[in-house]
Amino acid sequence: MSQCCRKIKDTVQKLASDHKDIHSSVSRVGKAIDRNFDSEICGVVSDAVWDSREKQQQILQMAILEHLYQQGMLSVAEELCQESTLNVDLDFKQPFLELNRILEALHEQDLGPALEWAVSHRQRLLELNSSLEFKLHRLHFIRLLAGGPEKQLEALSYARHFQPFARLHQREIQVMMGSLVYLRLGLEKSPYCHLLDNSHWAEICETFTRDACSLLGLSVESPLSVSFASGCVALPVLMNIKAVIEQRQCTGVWSHKDELPIEIELGMKCWYHSVFACPILRQQTSDSNPPIKLICGHVISRDALNKLINGGKLKCPYCPMEQNPADGKRIIF
Protein backbone atom coordinates (compact mmCIF):
# COMPACT_ATOMS: atom_id res chain seq x y z
CA MET A 1 0.00 0.00 0.00
CA SER A 2 2.86 2.34 0.89
CA GLN A 3 4.58 1.65 -2.46
CA CYS A 4 1.31 2.23 -4.32
CA CYS A 5 0.75 5.58 -2.58
CA ARG A 6 4.32 6.62 -3.37
CA LYS A 7 3.86 5.72 -7.04
CA ILE A 8 0.58 7.67 -7.21
CA LYS A 9 2.22 10.69 -5.59
CA ASP A 10 5.12 10.63 -8.07
CA THR A 11 2.69 10.34 -10.97
CA VAL A 12 0.62 13.29 -9.73
CA GLN A 13 3.75 15.41 -9.30
CA LYS A 14 4.89 14.53 -12.82
CA LEU A 15 1.45 15.44 -14.24
CA ALA A 16 1.48 18.72 -12.32
CA SER A 17 4.94 19.55 -13.65
CA ASP A 18 3.95 18.76 -17.26
CA HIS A 19 0.71 20.73 -16.89
CA LYS A 20 2.68 23.71 -15.59
CA ASP A 21 4.78 23.79 -18.76
CA ILE A 22 1.70 23.49 -20.98
CA HIS A 23 -0.19 26.11 -18.97
CA SER A 24 2.70 28.54 -19.37
CA SER A 25 2.63 28.16 -23.17
CA VAL A 26 -1.17 28.46 -23.37
CA SER A 27 -1.19 31.60 -21.23
CA ARG A 28 1.37 33.21 -23.54
CA VAL A 29 -0.87 32.48 -26.55
CA GLY A 30 -3.77 34.26 -24.85
CA LYS A 31 -1.62 37.29 -24.09
CA ALA A 32 -0.36 37.36 -27.70
CA ILE A 33 -3.97 37.34 -28.97
CA ASP A 34 -4.94 40.18 -26.62
CA ARG A 35 -1.87 42.15 -27.69
CA ASN A 36 -2.34 41.76 -31.46
CA PHE A 37 -6.13 41.85 -31.83
CA ASP A 38 -8.39 44.75 -30.93
CA SER A 39 -11.85 43.73 -29.80
CA GLU A 40 -13.24 47.18 -30.66
CA ILE A 41 -12.46 47.24 -34.38
CA CYS A 42 -16.00 48.38 -35.19
CA GLY A 43 -15.36 51.55 -33.20
CA VAL A 44 -12.77 52.70 -35.76
CA VAL A 45 -15.55 53.96 -38.04
CA SER A 46 -18.30 56.10 -36.63
CA ASP A 47 -21.90 54.97 -37.06
CA ALA A 48 -22.60 58.37 -38.63
CA VAL A 49 -20.89 57.12 -41.82
CA TRP A 50 -23.97 55.01 -42.53
CA ASP A 51 -27.46 56.39 -42.97
CA SER A 52 -28.86 53.51 -40.92
CA ARG A 53 -27.99 50.01 -39.78
CA GLU A 54 -30.47 48.60 -42.32
CA LYS A 55 -28.72 50.54 -45.09
CA GLN A 56 -25.35 49.23 -43.88
CA GLN A 57 -26.60 45.65 -43.93
CA GLN A 58 -28.12 46.05 -47.38
CA ILE A 59 -24.88 47.45 -48.85
CA LEU A 60 -22.87 44.59 -47.35
CA GLN A 61 -25.29 41.94 -48.61
CA MET A 62 -25.27 43.40 -52.14
CA ALA A 63 -21.44 43.47 -52.13
CA ILE A 64 -21.32 39.81 -51.07
CA LEU A 65 -23.95 38.92 -53.67
CA GLU A 66 -22.06 40.65 -56.49
CA HIS A 67 -18.86 38.89 -55.39
CA LEU A 68 -20.57 35.48 -55.51
CA TYR A 69 -22.02 36.13 -58.96
CA GLN A 70 -18.65 37.38 -60.24
CA GLN A 71 -16.86 34.29 -58.91
CA GLY A 72 -19.38 31.98 -60.61
CA MET A 73 -20.89 30.74 -57.33
CA LEU A 74 -24.42 31.11 -58.68
CA SER A 75 -26.16 28.60 -56.41
CA VAL A 76 -24.70 30.22 -53.28
CA ALA A 77 -25.78 33.65 -54.55
CA GLU A 78 -29.34 32.44 -55.15
CA GLU A 79 -29.44 30.95 -51.65
CA LEU A 80 -28.28 34.27 -50.19
CA CYS A 81 -31.03 36.10 -52.11
CA GLN A 82 -33.68 33.84 -50.62
CA GLU A 83 -32.39 33.91 -47.03
CA SER A 84 -31.74 37.67 -46.94
CA THR A 85 -34.96 38.56 -48.82
CA LEU A 86 -32.98 40.72 -51.26
CA ASN A 87 -34.89 41.77 -54.35
CA VAL A 88 -32.43 41.39 -57.23
CA ASP A 89 -33.54 42.20 -60.76
CA LEU A 90 -32.78 39.84 -63.61
CA ASP A 91 -30.97 42.74 -65.34
CA PHE A 92 -28.45 42.67 -62.48
CA LYS A 93 -27.87 38.93 -62.73
CA GLN A 94 -27.83 38.56 -66.51
CA PRO A 95 -24.34 40.00 -67.25
CA PHE A 96 -22.76 37.75 -64.60
CA LEU A 97 -24.63 34.67 -65.84
CA GLU A 98 -23.48 35.30 -69.41
CA LEU A 99 -19.86 35.98 -68.41
CA ASN A 100 -19.65 32.83 -66.30
CA ARG A 101 -21.21 30.71 -69.05
CA ILE A 102 -18.62 31.92 -71.57
CA LEU A 103 -15.72 31.58 -69.12
CA GLU A 104 -16.71 28.02 -68.28
CA ALA A 105 -16.68 27.23 -72.00
CA LEU A 106 -13.22 28.80 -72.37
CA HIS A 107 -11.88 26.75 -69.46
CA GLU A 108 -13.06 23.68 -71.37
CA GLN A 109 -11.30 25.09 -74.49
CA ASP A 110 -14.59 25.78 -76.27
CA LEU A 111 -14.25 29.03 -78.23
CA GLY A 112 -17.76 29.03 -79.72
CA PRO A 113 -19.67 31.09 -77.10
CA ALA A 114 -16.84 33.63 -76.75
CA LEU A 115 -16.57 34.11 -80.53
CA GLU A 116 -20.32 34.52 -80.84
CA TRP A 117 -20.29 37.14 -78.08
CA ALA A 118 -17.31 39.01 -79.57
CA VAL A 119 -18.88 39.14 -83.04
CA SER A 120 -22.18 40.45 -81.66
CA HIS A 121 -20.31 43.21 -79.75
CA ARG A 122 -17.70 43.90 -82.45
CA GLN A 123 -18.38 47.62 -82.86
CA ARG A 124 -18.27 48.39 -79.16
CA LEU A 125 -15.10 46.33 -78.73
CA LEU A 126 -13.45 48.31 -81.53
CA GLU A 127 -14.35 51.52 -79.74
CA LEU A 128 -12.42 50.18 -76.73
CA ASN A 129 -9.44 49.28 -78.97
CA SER A 130 -9.92 45.67 -77.93
CA SER A 131 -8.15 42.82 -79.75
CA LEU A 132 -10.37 40.15 -78.17
CA GLU A 133 -12.02 38.97 -81.39
CA PHE A 134 -8.67 38.66 -83.19
CA LYS A 135 -7.16 36.67 -80.31
CA LEU A 136 -10.14 34.30 -80.32
CA HIS A 137 -9.79 33.72 -84.08
CA ARG A 138 -6.04 33.26 -83.68
CA LEU A 139 -6.55 30.65 -80.96
CA HIS A 140 -9.06 28.77 -83.11
CA PHE A 141 -6.57 28.84 -86.01
CA ILE A 142 -3.85 27.46 -83.70
CA ARG A 143 -6.15 24.63 -82.65
CA LEU A 144 -6.57 23.73 -86.31
CA LEU A 145 -2.78 23.78 -86.76
CA ALA A 146 -2.42 21.41 -83.81
CA GLY A 147 -4.59 18.93 -85.75
CA GLY A 148 -1.71 18.30 -88.17
CA PRO A 149 -1.65 18.14 -92.01
CA GLU A 150 -5.22 16.81 -92.11
CA LYS A 151 -6.45 20.24 -90.91
CA GLN A 152 -4.31 22.29 -93.30
CA LEU A 153 -7.05 23.09 -95.81
CA GLU A 154 -9.50 23.95 -93.03
CA ALA A 155 -6.90 26.22 -91.43
CA LEU A 156 -6.27 28.02 -94.73
CA SER A 157 -9.99 28.50 -95.20
CA TYR A 158 -10.39 29.83 -91.66
CA ALA A 159 -7.55 32.32 -92.21
CA ARG A 160 -10.06 34.50 -94.09
CA HIS A 161 -11.31 35.65 -90.68
CA PHE A 162 -8.03 37.54 -90.22
CA GLN A 163 -8.75 39.96 -93.08
CA PRO A 164 -10.44 42.68 -90.94
CA PHE A 165 -7.47 42.62 -88.55
CA ALA A 166 -4.66 42.69 -91.13
CA ARG A 167 -3.77 46.34 -90.60
CA LEU A 168 -3.38 46.14 -86.82
CA HIS A 169 -2.06 42.57 -86.44
CA GLN A 170 -0.04 42.06 -89.62
CA ARG A 171 3.04 40.67 -87.87
CA GLU A 172 1.07 38.08 -85.86
CA ILE A 173 -0.83 36.96 -88.94
CA GLN A 174 2.45 36.54 -90.85
CA VAL A 175 3.80 34.33 -88.06
CA MET A 176 0.74 32.08 -88.19
CA MET A 177 0.89 31.80 -91.98
CA GLY A 178 4.59 30.97 -91.78
CA SER A 179 3.88 28.11 -89.40
CA LEU A 180 2.03 26.27 -92.19
CA VAL A 181 5.40 25.46 -93.77
CA TYR A 182 6.29 23.21 -90.81
CA LEU A 183 2.87 21.62 -90.48
CA ARG A 184 3.89 18.30 -92.05
CA LEU A 185 7.08 18.10 -89.98
CA GLY A 186 5.24 18.93 -86.75
CA LEU A 187 4.96 22.32 -85.07
CA GLU A 188 6.27 20.89 -81.79
CA LYS A 189 9.81 20.72 -83.22
CA SER A 190 9.63 23.90 -85.30
CA PRO A 191 10.50 27.56 -84.59
CA TYR A 192 6.74 28.07 -84.15
CA CYS A 193 6.34 25.69 -81.21
CA HIS A 194 5.42 28.66 -78.99
CA LEU A 195 2.06 28.81 -80.77
CA LEU A 196 1.05 25.56 -79.03
CA ASP A 197 1.76 26.90 -75.52
CA ASN A 198 -1.18 26.34 -73.16
CA SER A 199 -0.63 29.79 -71.68
CA HIS A 200 -2.69 31.20 -74.57
CA TRP A 201 -5.83 29.81 -72.95
CA ALA A 202 -5.15 31.56 -69.64
CA GLU A 203 -4.38 34.76 -71.54
CA ILE A 204 -7.65 34.62 -73.52
CA CYS A 205 -9.64 34.14 -70.30
CA GLU A 206 -8.01 37.22 -68.78
CA THR A 207 -8.52 39.26 -71.96
CA PHE A 208 -12.17 38.26 -72.22
CA THR A 209 -12.85 39.03 -68.54
CA ARG A 210 -11.18 42.45 -68.77
CA ASP A 211 -12.82 43.54 -72.04
CA ALA A 212 -16.25 42.11 -71.25
CA CYS A 213 -16.33 43.78 -67.83
CA SER A 214 -15.24 47.07 -69.38
CA LEU A 215 -17.94 46.76 -72.03
CA LEU A 216 -20.68 45.93 -69.52
CA GLY A 217 -19.63 48.55 -66.98
CA LEU A 218 -18.46 46.00 -64.40
CA SER A 219 -15.25 45.95 -62.38
CA VAL A 220 -12.71 43.30 -63.32
CA GLU A 221 -12.01 42.57 -59.66
CA SER A 222 -14.74 41.98 -57.13
CA PRO A 223 -15.46 45.22 -55.20
CA LEU A 224 -15.75 43.12 -52.04
CA SER A 225 -12.27 41.59 -52.44
CA VAL A 226 -10.76 45.01 -53.26
CA SER A 227 -12.44 46.57 -50.22
CA PHE A 228 -11.27 43.71 -47.98
CA ALA A 229 -7.65 43.95 -49.21
CA SER A 230 -7.68 47.75 -48.80
CA GLY A 231 -9.17 47.43 -45.33
CA CYS A 232 -6.40 45.05 -44.25
CA VAL A 233 -3.85 47.73 -45.19
CA ALA A 234 -5.77 50.71 -43.81
CA LEU A 235 -7.18 49.25 -40.58
CA PRO A 236 -3.95 49.33 -38.48
CA VAL A 237 -3.37 52.96 -39.47
CA LEU A 238 -6.97 53.91 -38.65
CA MET A 239 -6.74 52.21 -35.27
CA ASN A 240 -3.61 54.21 -34.43
CA ILE A 241 -5.33 57.43 -35.53
CA LYS A 242 -8.35 56.63 -33.38
CA ALA A 243 -6.12 56.04 -30.35
CA VAL A 244 -4.33 59.38 -30.88
CA ILE A 245 -7.63 61.25 -31.34
CA GLU A 246 -9.04 59.79 -28.13
CA GLN A 247 -5.81 60.48 -26.22
CA ARG A 248 -5.66 64.14 -27.30
CA GLN A 249 -9.44 64.60 -27.08
CA CYS A 250 -9.79 66.07 -30.57
CA THR A 251 -12.74 64.08 -31.91
CA GLY A 252 -13.73 66.89 -34.29
CA VAL A 253 -10.74 66.15 -36.54
CA TRP A 254 -12.50 63.19 -38.11
CA SER A 255 -16.05 64.29 -38.78
CA HIS A 256 -16.52 63.86 -42.56
CA LYS A 257 -18.29 60.80 -43.90
CA ASP A 258 -16.38 60.59 -47.19
CA GLU A 259 -12.94 61.71 -46.05
CA LEU A 260 -10.20 60.29 -43.82
CA PRO A 261 -8.16 62.51 -41.49
CA ILE A 262 -4.92 61.51 -43.25
CA GLU A 263 -3.95 59.97 -46.56
CA ILE A 264 -3.33 56.20 -46.47
CA GLU A 265 -1.12 54.71 -49.19
CA LEU A 266 -2.70 51.52 -50.55
CA GLY A 267 -0.23 50.91 -53.40
CA MET A 268 -0.46 51.11 -57.18
CA LYS A 269 -2.87 48.15 -57.32
CA CYS A 270 -5.62 50.27 -55.79
CA TRP A 271 -5.22 53.27 -58.10
CA TYR A 272 -8.39 53.50 -60.17
CA HIS A 273 -8.77 57.19 -61.01
CA SER A 274 -6.92 60.48 -60.76
CA VAL A 275 -7.30 62.70 -57.72
CA PHE A 276 -6.45 66.37 -57.20
CA ALA A 277 -5.55 68.02 -53.92
CA CYS A 278 -5.93 71.80 -53.73
CA PRO A 279 -2.47 73.38 -53.26
CA ILE A 280 -4.03 76.21 -51.23
CA LEU A 281 -6.31 74.41 -48.77
CA ARG A 282 -4.43 71.08 -48.89
CA GLN A 283 -7.71 69.21 -49.35
CA GLN A 284 -8.73 66.63 -51.92
CA THR A 285 -11.34 67.97 -54.30
CA SER A 286 -14.79 66.41 -54.55
CA ASP A 287 -18.06 66.82 -56.43
CA SER A 288 -19.13 69.56 -54.03
CA ASN A 289 -15.68 71.21 -54.17
CA PRO A 290 -14.34 70.57 -57.71
CA PRO A 291 -11.01 71.76 -59.17
CA ILE A 292 -11.21 75.07 -61.05
CA LYS A 293 -8.78 76.15 -63.80
CA LEU A 294 -7.96 79.86 -63.79
CA ILE A 295 -7.26 81.91 -66.91
CA CYS A 296 -3.53 81.86 -66.15
CA GLY A 297 -3.55 78.04 -66.18
CA HIS A 298 -3.20 77.39 -62.45
CA VAL A 299 -5.70 75.06 -60.79
CA ILE A 300 -7.22 75.46 -57.32
CA SER A 301 -10.37 74.20 -55.61
CA ARG A 302 -13.66 76.08 -55.72
CA ASP A 303 -13.55 76.69 -51.96
CA ALA A 304 -10.09 78.23 -52.30
CA LEU A 305 -11.32 80.39 -55.20
CA ASN A 306 -14.23 81.73 -53.12
CA LYS A 307 -11.91 82.59 -50.22
CA LEU A 308 -9.48 84.44 -52.50
CA ILE A 309 -12.12 86.73 -54.03
CA ASN A 310 -11.58 90.34 -52.98
CA GLY A 311 -13.81 93.11 -54.25
CA GLY A 312 -15.24 90.98 -57.02
CA LYS A 313 -11.75 90.24 -58.38
CA LEU A 314 -9.47 87.26 -58.00
CA LYS A 315 -5.69 87.40 -57.87
CA CYS A 316 -3.98 84.11 -58.64
CA PRO A 317 -1.98 82.95 -55.59
CA TYR A 318 0.86 81.74 -57.85
CA CYS A 319 1.15 84.62 -60.32
CA PRO A 320 0.14 88.30 -60.12
CA MET A 321 -2.57 87.98 -62.77
CA GLU A 322 -5.93 89.46 -61.79
CA GLN A 323 -9.06 87.96 -63.31
CA ASN A 324 -12.79 87.59 -63.02
CA PRO A 325 -13.73 84.61 -60.78
CA ALA A 326 -16.55 83.73 -63.19
CA ASP A 327 -13.96 82.98 -65.91
CA GLY A 328 -12.68 79.95 -64.01
CA LYS A 329 -13.62 76.62 -65.58
CA ARG A 330 -14.26 73.34 -63.81
CA ILE A 331 -11.83 70.54 -64.63
CA ILE A 332 -12.84 66.89 -64.77
CA PHE A 333 -9.94 64.46 -64.52
Three-class SS state of 324: coil
pLDDT at 242: 76
* E strand or H helix at 300: strand 299-301
| Strands of the 329-330 sheet, one edge to the other | 299-301, 291-293, 329-330
d(CA 115, CA 222): 25
- Asked whether 162 and 169 are in contact (CB, 8 A), the reply is yes
Domain 275-328 has CATH 3.40.50.300: no
d(CA 192, CA 187): 6
Report the largest interatomic distance among the alpha carbons of the chain, rounded to a whole angstrom.
Answer: 109
Overall pTM > 0.85: no
pLDDT at 291: 92
d(CA 78, CA 256): 36
pLDDT at 257: 58
Residue pLDDT tens, the chain, 333 long? 888 888 888 888 888 777 777 777 777 887 787 777 665 666 666 666 666 777 778 888 888 888 888 887 888 888 888 887 777 777 788 888 888 889 899 889 898 999 999 989 888 888 888 888 899 999 999 888 888 888 888 888 888 888 888 888 889 889 888 888 888 888 888 888 888 888 888 899 989 988 888 888 877 788 888 888 888 888 888 878 777 777 777 666 565 556 666 777 887 777 777 788 888 888 888 888 899 998 888 999 999 888 888 888 888 888 878 888 888 899 887
What confidence tens digit (pLDDT) does each residue in 300-330 have?
999 988 888 888 888 888 887 888 888 889 9
Three-class SS state of 309: strand
- Asked whether 208 and 102 are in contact (CB, 8 A), the reply is yes
Report the alpha-carbon angle 326-329-331, nearest 5: 155
Domain chopping of the chain, boundaries: 88-214, 275-328
State whether the Cα torsion 29-31-36-40 is positive or negative. Answer: positive
Which long-range CB contacts under 8 A does 157-163 form with residues at least 24 apart?
Answer: 161/137, 162/134, 162/137, 162/138
